[in-house]
Amino acid sequence: MHFKWNYKSPTPEEERVAKELSEKLSMSPILTQLLIRRGITTESAAKRFFRPQLSDLINPFLMKDMDIAVDRLNDAMGRKERILVYGDYDVDGCTAVALVYKFLQQFYSNIDYYIPDRYEEGYGVSKKGIDYAKETEVKLIIILDCGIKAIEEIAYAKKQGIDFIICDHHVPDETLPEAVAILNPKREDDPYPFKHLSGCGVGFKFMQAFAKNNGIPFSRLIPLLDFCAVSIAADIVPVIDENRILAFHGLRQLNQNPSIGLKAIIDICGLNNRELSMSDIIFKIGPRINASGRMENGKESVDLLVEKDLRVALHAAKLINEYNEQRKDIDKQMTEEANQIVERLENQRHCSSIVLYDENWKKGVIGIVASRLTEIYFRPTVVLTRDGEFATGSARSVTGFDVYSAIKECRHLLVNFGGHTYAAGLTLKWDKIKEFRKSFQKYVDDHIQPEQTEAMLHIDAVIDFKDITKKLHNDLKRFAPFGPGNPKPLFATTNVYDYGTSKVVGREQEHIKLELVDSKSSNVMKGIAFGQSASARYIKSKRSFDIAYTLEDNIFKHNAIQLQIEDIRPPEEDASPLS
């Protein structure tokens, strides 16, 4: 893959502020420059960034309807009504249900939870789920990570004498359901100052408010913060402001004393005895929680997350690990089929978006395939499969392009849709797909910027190997947790050379294990370049080249620093300058 590198040199003013901040924080100007790019220009702001405090969490009662939601929950518990905690079948929904259920179960026993079956019921509130609630004499449903568009379903529940409290973070429509309370910071009439909570985050704020109202110490909520961290990482919400506080302390909980269910998943992933990061959640923990909902039923993941017996949890974790292995096989096959379709359809290959459908694709995996195609082709992508007379699909987007708005523009063709900027779901009649593709393509053509369809690397700083010290690396770790809004810093070093010992590795000889030097120091830096073996011949030619990379711990060598190389490029006349 050929990346375009984007680097903006610091201005004289930025350099001046970075130098001042460097002296106050005893930190390299390289890193204080990164703080300035994140809008952090004072010593006090830097200290808040590096040491997020739970005491800085926003008052949950600033969220619209929060007082109503807490009053209704208190009434339900006072009248001993049966309560059902209902959530989506993805990681965010499952962690949200686990968090709310585990917290309330400490104070109230007449409570149950429910996850709809992706294949039988589909996304969100289902009539079957409401009928289950009616049969089990539920009077109050707390719904998490969905529900904001369930107007007909919640009206149906109301006729059955069932109330709803909605805890959602997806973009609402103009008309809202007739719920008792709707907790969603994205409501236009909601004054809550932070708009980017995960679904689990909204559930946490509800429990925070409930605890505050009932005199329950905040410390009782801290053991549940690991669920918040998992949801924030897996749902790819911005890791800034309140999410940064929740993720920071949630990761601490995950590393020091995780819940039994997460401990079992950590064990099954082989992540014991190491410091877990947001990347570990995204690539290891999250996919396993998702797997049961993709392959069977998401309730199995919630069963695991609320389990109190480690032996039982380990058995359940092995089962969802098997689901994940099955998912990977199907995902690989479907992605290959989708790639073949894109390559075969000449007009599709040159469009600014991709819309693909196949009635045999597995509904639970189409979202992953859409993500893969977006990564490969750098275009907003919709992948659809058949569900009776309907087509159901998932959409994913490229940086800076709002795919939810693109789908909303096509709403006249849709039965249902929902989501947020970078990920959305939709349902339409099978015979409307071609019309949808045309309408979706037109919106993308009219709104996407050329640079959004390019493979772009945003370089944070150009440094030399002599700058890479243990102190710089340790200080850099304080920028974590990383994610959207606070990406892991990407460095570049120019004119580096093979030390003479670099070699191709991997089962299919697809990676390069590197030992490199630059012209300004005698430091030999070790690195790994995944999937870049095509550059090996050039590297071994003893000519210089430029690298873009992140700094990582070498898990096989204690305290060693390793470069994870994202791109290798020979010096080119047309390359964007890095100085």
pLDDT per 10-residue tile (average), the chain, 579 residues: 87 95 96 95 95 98 98 98 96 97 98 91 90 97 96 96 97 94 97 97 98 98 98 94 98 98 96 93 94 86 97 96 90 88 70 92 91 90 92 93 95 92 92 95 94 90 95 96 95 94 92 92 91 93 94 79 95 58
Please give the helix or strand (H or E) that residue 4 lies within, else none: strand 4-7
Q: Which residues contact 156 (CB under 8 A, 6 or more apart)?
A: 127, 130
Q: Give the pLDDT confidence score for residue 574 in this predicted structure.
A: 47
Q: What is the DSSP string of 366-416?
A: HHHHHHHHHHHH-S-EEEEEEETTEEEEEEE--TT--HHHHHHTTGGGEEE
Whether omega before 217 lies within 30 degrees of 0, making that bond cis, reads no
Residue type, 185: P
* 317 vs 270: CA distance, rounded Å: 12
Tell me which residue of 399, 378, 569 sits closest to 492, measured CA to CA: 569
Cα Dmax for the chain: 78
How many CB atoms are closer than 10 A to CB 473? 16
Q: Give the pLDDT confidence score for residue 3 in this predicted structure.
A: 87
Q: Give the pLDDT confidence score for residue 347 in this predicted structure.
A: 61
* 159 vs 163: CA distance, rounded Å: 9
Please give the helix or strand (H or E) that residue 512 lies within, else none: strand 511-518
pTM: 0.91
Q: Give the pLDDT confidence score for residue 557 in this predicted structure.
A: 67
* 233 vs 91: CA distance, rounded Å: 10
Q: Give the pLDDT confidence score for residue 438 in this predicted structure.
A: 95
Q: Could you tell me the two tokens for 55?
A: 């005491």
Q: Give the pLDDT confidence score for residue 554 in this predicted structure.
A: 82
Q: Which residues contact 217 (CB under 8 A, 6 or more apart)?
A: 211
